[in-house]
Chains A and B, each alone.
Chain A
Amino acid sequence: MVKDKIILKNETGLHARPASELAKLAASFKSTVKLNVNGKTVDAKSILAIMAAGIKYNTEIEIECDGEDEEKALSEIIKGFNNNFSE
């Protein structure tokens, strides 16, 4: 299992579009992808779970990947966050 932290820089939070980009990306890996945020754990492959978590601008998110492609999953997802999911 690997994990890392980032701070959300999408000004409007994880809205439908970035949430769907994130879920799509997470679902492309075999590993499980979880977000630990505000004391909750969210399945990053579920757009609904991501949106329902209501993650706002400047929130700290811990990304946790577990599985055979965990390293690649973690680095790609962090790249996605750094690009603000092309918002």
Chain B
Amino acid sequence: MLKGKGVSNGIGFGNIVILKKVERKIEKKTIESAQVENELERLHEALREVIDETEIQMKHISGTEADIMQAYLMILQDPSLISETENAIKNSHYNAEYAVEVGFNSVIQIFENMDDAYMASRSRDILDIKNRVLGKLLKEETIDLSNLKPNTIIVATELTTSETAKLDFKNVSGIITEMGGENSHTSIMARTHTIPAITKVEEATKLFKDGDSVAINGTSGEIYVNPTEEEKQKLLTLEKQLEEEKTELEKYRDKESITKDGTKVKLYANIGLPSDAEIALKNTAEGVGLLRSEFLYMDSDTMPTEEDQFEAYKQVAEIMKDKEAIIRTLDIGGDKDLKYLNLEKEANPFLGYRAIRLCLDNPKIFKIQLRAILRASAFGKLAIMFPMISSIEELRAAKQVLEECKKELDNENVSYDKNIQVGIMIEIPSAALIADKLAQECDFFSIGTNDLIQYTVAVERGNEKISKLYTKYHPAVIKLIKQAIDGAHLSNITCGMCGEAAGDPLYIPLLIGLGLDEFSMNSNNILRARRTINNLDKEICKKLSEEILQMASAEEVEKRLREFVNN
């Protein structure tokens, strides 16, 4: 048995498919005249194959994605691109591979040099198509992620957003990766789609062979290669238990999120991709408490345009309709880097140039995003949330930029929601400590426990050596949460939480007692959280929280919460 870190619960049985990154070399060869026909044929065969694949993919998608695929199809059959490429074979006597390089690159260059940012970013699409055509010419065995065999267990170094976006979820029964933590993109995606996932399996792409039969336990992180009958039975029993709990939770689908004594709260979902909003709704989310906007920035070689962003936010607004969707503005820097920003390496990235600090320093980048959100707000109920606020000056400066964007749109006669709500993340102790002041100048709070804990106890999230010190049960963390909630309520604004703690059945009684208004979590924790809340009494939770606020140690707090839940 192998062991990694379980990051998405569930049991999966299936056969391994390994995603390998291929190094590609395009050779420049001169061909004989007699070979011209043959090379032209190879070119057209490769184009044909990519067209066929794209047409199959189109059957599974709709909306913006389908429009993009439609444009891909037209590009693949474009007369000017094809004649350019054919001429490189006919006149320059290049081999088909090099001709594709020449022909496609000439078009890519035209697009790259256009002054229109939208058009410039289309060069990425053509580059993507070029790579697919080359893959066919070189007979590279690429795995079609959108068309997998049933019961596939994907093994990869790490999955990119564009790879997961293509993934044929119904046929994936598990994911094993070498890199990535609990909150990496792949892990979040796996939990959203309830696919068992295990990460931190060193050399996984070399350890397994394609077709290996494996069984995985996404909770414990255990992987069984060619599982014995006994191991299979053990896992099947576990799977049955998980299924039973799931059926039990279905009862809470149509219930209100309300305590026994009548306190209503909001159960929201955290999402990482616009299409995840559908999953949030399927899991009865009452809104989106956190849309991480990084997906737009992470997987691209260039800055996403206002148009790209607008389309993505509009998609979320249209899916959620009259339900609120809170978009967190760019939270990059720290551990997440972007090639095209050329950020300097810092000794303490988590204390450095990141999130709102970076945005306020680069108003151009910030404005593109704010304008896109504002424009999309005309299509639903969007809200804006600034991350990493540590002082009132930052909040004021960010709001100032937002006002400028609103004015610009007014002048351009572009419609947007004039009453769009503006809130902040409370994830730095200094912000929690002046929460009463910050609350006077914004519309809502959302406590980000993951960072709040790290900054309060001075423990870097990902550092395994000191991970024991990283705990949401530390009394100081709880005092800061209380201060944020109380500060919000003094100004009659709502206080939510979008950290992992908000979905933890052990922690929810404490948060209800402290008066939290909105709980935002992974979609698949929502029904369980509703069950927890339906069985709580606010008054009793309040007493519990008062008792806990008197405690000195994290251990004591955790013990008391376990006792409370078990009674």
* Tally of B interface residues using CB under 8 Å: 21
Interface check B37, CB cutoff 8 A = no
> Which residues of A are found within 8 Å of B114, using beta-carbon distances?
52, 54
Q: Which residue of B lies closest to A42 (CB)?
A: B80
Once the chains bind, are B119 and A48 in contact (CB under 8 Å)?
no
Q: Which of A12, A13, A47, A54 has the most CB of B within 10 A?
A: A47
Main secondary structure of the interface of B (DSSP, over half): helix
> Which residues of A from 9 to 61 have beta carbons under 8 Å from B?
12-13, 15-17, 19-20, 23-24, 43, 45-49, 51-52, 54
> Which residues of B are found within 8 Å of A48, using beta-carbon distances?
75, 78, 80-81, 107, 126
Shortest distance between the CB of A59 and any CB in chain B (Å): 13
> Which residues of B from 38 to 78 have beta carbons under 8 Å from A?
67-68, 70-71, 74-75, 78
> Which residues of B are found within 8 Å of A19, using beta-carbon distances?
71
> Which residues of B from 236 to 266 have beta carbons under 8 Å from A?
none
* Tally of A interface residues using CB under 8 Å: 18
> Which residues of B from 111 to 126 have beta carbons under 8 Å from A?
111, 114-116, 118-119, 122, 126
Tell me the complex Cα distance, A48–B110, Å: 10
One of B74, B110, B111 near A23 (C-beta < 8 A): B74
- Given contacts A13-B116, A16-B122, A54-B119, A47 and B111 within 8 Å (CB-CB): no
- Given contacts A16-B67, A17-B67, A51 and B80 within 8 Å (CB-CB): no
Q: Which residue of B lies closest to A16 (CB)?
A: B71
Once the chains bind, are B110 and A45 in contact (CB under 8 Å)?
no
Tell me the complex Cα distance, A15–B114, Å: 13
> Which residues of A are found within 8 Å of B116, using beta-carbon distances?
13, 54
> Which residues of A are found within 8 Å of B78, using beta-carbon distances?
23, 46-49
Given contacts A20-B74, A51-B119, 19 further A-B contacts (CB under 8 A): A12-B118, A15-B118, A16-B67, A16-B71, A20-B70, A23-B78, A24-B74, A46-B78, A46-B79, A46-B80, A47-B75, A48-B80, A48-B81, A49-B78, A49-B80, A51-B111, A51-B122, A52-B110, A54-B115
Provide a sorted-by-A list of 24 A–B residue pairs whose CB atoms are within 8 angstroms. A12-B118, A12-B307, A13-B116, A16-B67, A16-B68, A17-B67, A19-B71, A20-B67, A20-B71, A23-B74, A23-B78, A43-B80, A46-B78, A46-B80, A47-B74, A47-B78, A48-B75, A48-B80, A49-B80, A51-B111, A51-B119, A52-B110, A52-B119, A54-B114
